[in-house]
Structure 1
């Protein structure tokens, strides 16, 4: 009983896979050959494709006809040579035979050329179709969150072209070889019915074996494709993260990862080779058996005088062509296993792209309104899977020309708010008011460096903008990149900029784009994290001079100097919006209140200005947050002896996070305190 269940399931799965395969093929082929949606393909393109396909079919029919005709000429030529021994007939007949060979040669060349032309046109259309899906509604970004879609770059670059070329190759070979086998089977039937019946039986058996081998090869090809993609990606990963690997001295670990993936690829390749060996042995043995059986049957007939030598020659040739056609047809069945794998992976990829661009049903999303200002109206933002609330019931507006700084603990969703503004995340409730994204320039922590020239780097994303070299030089001067031109041949030089420019230079290059673009609204996500305070201040001052409205995410205390408002996100999804001045005062009071040593603050009735009050608060904080020489040494790039030397000389020190400390020599303090 269990055996019956397993067999039934296997049969059902095989049938289901077969139906699924042809549905995938239809999804790929029908829009090209029989478009049903308006605007899917131009009518002239469809007519041209069908015209080329019809021409290919006619060439194949002509090729098979020429081969058949030449087999009769060859039979007659043998009779003339062996039996009649007539030289005039020989020259006349062989001239026809030569013309037939030339015609066959031309037909083979043109049929393959037409087939490849059709495959290229189909590939071009299919590639553009998938690329449009990939870039539509930011599917290229969203599909990265689907764990079952691996290596989208390889699926695009290496797995689309084989679909069209293999489909045309299999279809034309199938048509050509079926016509050849049918024609030559008729010829053999006219000479020996016994041989013809044997050939027919061989055909049925051969195809059944080919189908079995093909099913196994489909699985093997699928595994080989995936392992090859994983190996290729591991090499790309090293190239993209070469500097980080070098810093960590991780060459040995990376090599182990690559070798492990390569070994898996080799294992699958060897498995495929073993199956192909069995298939090649079967193909050659099958063909040899046909030739042997033909001579075994026809030899005695010729000896008894029942057929002439020309007939045995024609029958042998026909059987030879029949066996060759059958062998090639079986080989194409094996190749179709790889074709099936490509079809399955492309269909899976296309369905995933379509799925991620569809808005989920029965879920709440943040409504986006395009207007000439920024505002959050009762916005509750959640992660795309709706499992975590990032911020709850957020309401604020950023006035034109103002700056908003978003702060909070790491991982609390500061960058997620920027994703919401960009429309990447919209899970939640409320309304988001923002300008059109064409009016917004985003400056991430690691700027996007395009594959292009220095001119295109500066003009991105509007690379069609016209600017003279003198204007671009002035922009580089404004962001302190004036020395960049001395390292390349000019603005039209294309080099691997991501490897040449440091992160700090890349961030300054991003600010250069800002100066070139003059956006009305700017979003900055840790956009100056790799810059020193002087460069940061210089760039933010230029940002303020452009009168742009900007929202920043950052941790540096120095950023408070360039913003009017602070949005603080808390661990419990709550938030507060205050002015920069109130936020500084609030944090200072929290530090004083939470200090283990309550400081005695003397109340001075004399009027003080705001600067004096802030200085007193800063001094109080500095005394409480005193650091030792060793702690300062850890926070800087200085040695311990240098830290002590600066303390004795009364010199200040700026730490890596942008904070400035001086050494308080009061015997009750004797610590580094923040200025």
Structure 2
């Protein structure tokens, strides 16, 4: 029957969820408290952690014992005041009672201190452990390709500390309140067994109700965490892309996105407020019921003379303490809902980091060999999901000191080849021979600007290198950034560099790192796209002077002047490797061939007195500025300038052209 399915399924899910939760807790806590692998933790650190934990346990037992003992002293004190009315006994008893209160106060302070210290030590180790997982084997890069792992920065910065503090607080509070409840229940049992049995039954019922409330509270906490992360990411996204948003004038659209995520967060908070209200009513309700029930039972017993006034006071105090302990315990179970959410997200994050760094089984990968040169040997490169072939059966060898330029249509895998060299992508077959990565410097189109001083910017990634201010000034001069020092106080000034440097300045700063590092191999991915031709030429000339072996990806035709070889990638995953001169000649012939097919021979019979030269021009091939650019070493702007001045141009194949300014022609024609 459908009702049977509905009844059984939640139980199964609840049990499996608890098992999974417990496995997650063991995976997080085990390496810290029970290290089984060598090198996980120093033995002295483990002993220190357990020593503080045992000390906390002893403090809790001592705290509960003194607190319970004080109820007997309080009972005796009441009898002395009301029945015996003996002042000397009162002073001695009140002194003992005061010592108990002072002891409880001090124990409570040390208890809180030890909890925080144990949680802090655990948090420090756990944060370091997860950070190592995040940064080793480039997991921080690969995790971005897993769509189910959201906001890794929030998980690292905001969701680890609550795990350790909540775990220690919950464990200590559970032990403390459970001992208190048992102790005060024994005290109540000694006064009235009927009341003790009623309290036990009442406690079981309340725990069932509290458990139900906590289950829903866990879901609400999980939703709140996710919505907070999404809202925080939206704000960070605006900060990181402020200039692009300003160019697009997209403020209203960004505001709509942020407000949409903020409204989701508000709805989750409102749900949480509602459930917290219900919990508060429940907690205060059962506590009041216990106090009221105690008075209803104890008052008649006292009136009948079956118990004295001190017993009434002790039983009332014990019941109040029992109710307070139970309330605190259920409140901690409520907090554990948030703890459960944090544990689930951290475990999910940790498992994902291990998964992305684990070498997949039964898949082909490119074999990487570390030698002092760079070569592809029958390499077929695929996307990481093995769904698309980027380049097929590539074989080439970059000679020391030479430059290779990779060109091709947008999206055809030019940058992917660089990722393969860097070891980021290895899906495919064949062998990749490359030097150790510490000998290779990568210059991306958007340079990485670190959080640090100008000195650290220039020395990155080896910020421990020693260089004088004079040497660094000389480097800035070479990359045309000599005015940068006038904008800051010195090399040891830390400012938000990404905000004060233009993209062109950032690219020149990246080239400065090259001049500082002097790498044997350099990889440039559109590294001069934001520079003018003069700065580009200056930087590439200095790159050639360093005798480094370099590979560039780019679209600018000016880059042909600084490389010896061209690797062209095609749409069908094929490729061709040619010397620069041969490649330019090949393209020139293709343009001439394509132009010849579209050339029309024009005969003007109305102008018989035209010169022989004009007759030749009228029957010649007509080329645009762009077509002339492909046949020469000149830029398009230079070709336009020569056209306006009426100057002729000789192409790489030895033919001479001049620009025909006739409005009906406006083309370069061969003389």
Q: What TM-score results when the alignment is normalised by the length of structure 2?
A: 0.92
Using the alignment, how far apart are the partners of 1:568 and 1:164 within structure 2? 55
Distance 1:598 1:377 in 2: 44
Shift of 1:645: 11
In the alignment, what sits opposite 1:164?
164
Q: What secondary structure does 1:504 align onto?
A: helix
Judging changes above 3 Å, is the alpha-carbon distance between structure 1 residues 664 and 318 closer, same or farther for their aligned structure 2 residues?
A: farther
Q: Report matched runs for 1:319-398 at 5 Å.
A: 319-398=319-398
In the TM superposition, what is the alpha-carbon distance from 1:599 to its structure 2 partner? 8.4
Query: Deviation of residue 597 (structure 1)?
Result: 2.6
Between the aligned partners of 1:323 and 1:662, the Cα distance in structure 2 is 101
The answer for the alignment partner of 1:312 in structure 2 is 312
Q: How far did residue 622 of structure 1 move?
A: 3.9
Which residue number in structure 2 is paired with residue 238 of structure 1?
238
What is the match of residue 666 of structure 2?
670
Task: Name the CA distance, whole Å, in 2 between partners of 1:393 and 1:235.
Answer: 45
Q: Which residue of 2 aligns with 1:140?
A: 140
d(CA) in 1 for partners of 2:583, 2:624: 18
Measured against aligned partners, the alpha-carbon deviations of 1:304-346 in whole angstroms (never above 9, x if no partner) come to 1111111100000000000000000000011000000000000
Structure 1 pair 479–302 and aligned structure 2 pair: CA distance change class (3 A): same
Q: Is 1:537 aligned to 2:537, yes or no?
A: yes
Of 521-530 and 89-98, the range deviating more from structure 2: 89-98
C-alpha contact 1:592 1:599 (8 A) present in aligned 2: no
Offset of 1:94 from its aligned partner?
A: 0.6
Q: What corresponds to 1:597 in structure 2? A: 598
Which residue number corresponds to residue 609 of structure 2? none
Residue 519 (structure 1) aligns with: 519
Is 2:145 the partner of 1:152?
no
**2:82 matched residue in structure 1:** 82
Unpaired segments ≥5 residues, structure 1: 601-618, 628-634, 637-642, 653-660
Do the aligned partners of residues 593 and 646 (structure 1) sit closer, same or farther apart at CA in structure 2, a change above 3 Å counting?
A: closer
Residue 58 (structure 1) aligns with: 58
Tell me which residue corresponds to 2:475: 475
Q: Distance in 2 between matches of 1:195 and 1:499?
A: 71
Distance verdict in 2 for CA 1:558–1:210, change over 3 Å: same
Contact 1:626/1:673 (8 A) holds in 2? no
- Separation in structure 2 between the aligned mates of residue 207 and residue 651 of structure 1, nearest angstrom: 95
Deviation, 1:6, is 2.2
Distance 1:549 1:667 in 2: 49
Instruction: Find the aligned partners of 2:257 and 2:658 in 1 and give their Cα distance.
Output: 48
Q: Report what 1:289 is aligned to.
A: 289
Contact 1:163 1:339 in 2 (8 A): yes
Partner SS for 2:362 = coil
Q: Equivalents in 2 of 1:509, 1:599: separation in Å? A: 52
Distance in structure 1 (CA, Å) of the matches to 2:449 and 2:479: 17
2:552 matched to 1:556?
Answer: no
The verdict on how the C-alpha distance between 1:154 and 1:662 changes in structure 2, with shifts beyond 3 A counting, is farther
The separation in 1 between residues aligned to 2:282 and 2:180, in whole angstroms, is 21
Q: Decide whether the 8 Å contact of 1:622 with 1:673 is kept in 2.
A: no
Quote how far apart the aligned CAs of 1:210 are: 1.4
Q: What's 1:112 paired with?
A: 112
Task: Name the structure 2 match of 1:208.
Answer: 208
Shift of 1:669: 2.8
SS at match of 1:64: helix
Q: Describe the superposition over 1:18-45 as per-residue Cα deviations: whole angstroms up to 9, x where unpaired.
A: 1000000000111111111111111111
- CA–CA distance in structure 2, aligned partners of residues 598 and 41 of structure 1: 79
Q: Partners of 2:27 and 2:628 in 1: how far apart? A: 69
Shift of 1:649: 6.4
Matches of residues 572-587 of structure 1 in structure 2 within 5 Å?
572-587=572-587
Aligned-CA RMSD value: 2.1
Q: How does 1:610-625 map to 2 (within 5 A)?
A: 621-622=623-624, 625=627
Offset at residue 194 of structure 1 (A): 1.5
SS in 1 for 2:473: helix
Q: CA deviation at 1:626?
A: 8.6
Report the Cα offset of residue 69 of structure 1: 1.0
Distance 2:131 2:241 in 1: 26
Q: Quote the Cα distance in structure 2 between the aligned partners of 1:463 and 1:599.
A: 64
Q: Distance in 2 between matches of 1:303 and 1:547?
A: 105
* 3-state SS in 2 of match to 1:576: strand
Deviation at 1:646, TM superposition (A): 11
Name the SS for the 2:179 alignment partner: helix
Aligned equivalents of 2:144 and 2:470: distance in 1?
41
Over 3 Å counting, the alpha-carbon distance change for 1:257 and 1:209 in structure 2 is same
Distance 1:80 1:368 in 2: 88
> What is the CA–CA distance in structure 1 between the aligned matches of 2:569 and 2:669, rounded to whole Å?
28
- How many residue pairs match? The answer is 635
Per-residue Cα deviation, 1:81-117 (whole angstroms, up to 9, x for no partner): 1111111111111111111110000000001100110
d(CA) in 1 for partners of 2:46 and 2:476? Answer: 51
Superposition deviation, residue 136 in structure 1: 1.3
The 5 A counterparts of 1:392-541 are 392-541=392-541
The 8 Å contact of residues 381 and 428 in structure 2, kept in 1 or not, is answered as yes
Aligned partners of 2:40, 2:623: CA distance in 1, in Å? 68
Per the alignment, residue 251 of structure 1 pairs with: 251
The runs of 5 or more residues in structure 2 that have no matched partner are 602-620, 630-635, 649-656
Write the deviation string for residues 596-638 of structure 1: whole angstroms up to 9, x where unpaired.
43489xxxxxxxxxxxxxxxxxx974468499xxxxxxx99xx
SS in 2 for 1:343: helix
Cα offset, 1:673, TM superposition: 9.8
Contact 1:625 1:673 in 2 (8 A): no
SS of the residue corresponding to residue 491 of structure 2 reads coil
SS at match of 1:594: helix
CA contact (8 A) 1:369 1:433 kept: yes
* Alpha-carbon spacing, 1:518–1:673, altered in 2? closer, same or farther (3 Å): farther
CA distance in 2, matches of 1:194, 1:296: 13
Q: Deviation at 1:458?
A: 0.2
> C-alpha distance in 2, partners of 1:29/1:369?
39
Deviations 1:112-158 (A, max 9, x none): 10011000000011111111110111000001000100000000000
Distance 1:339 1:673 in 2: 78
Contact 2:624 2:667 in 1 (8 A): no
Query: How much does 1:666 deviate?
Result: 4.6
How far did 1:386 drift? 0.3
Question: For the residues of structure 1 that align with 2:625 and 2:233, how far apart are their CA atoms?
Answer: 53
Equivalent-residue separation in structure 2 for 1:274 and 1:198 (angstroms) = 31
Distance 2:285 2:668 in 1: 88
Residue by residue over 1:33-89, the C-alpha shift from the partner in whole angstroms, topping out at 9 and shown as x without a partner, is: 111111111111110000000000000001001101111111111111111111111
Equivalent in the alignment of 2:651: none
Structure 2 distance, partners of 1:36, 1:515, is 47
Are the equivalent residues in 2 in contact too, given 1:626–1:671 (CA < 8 A)?
Answer: no
Is the 8 Å Cα contact of residues 366 and 427 (structure 1) preserved in structure 2? yes
Quote the offset at 1:651 in angstroms: 10
Question: 2:578 is paired with a residue of what secondary structure?
Answer: strand
Q: Distance in 2 between matches of 1:662 and 1:285?
A: 98
Equivalent residues of 2:381, 2:390 under 8 A apart: yes
TM-score w.r.t. length of structure 1: 0.91
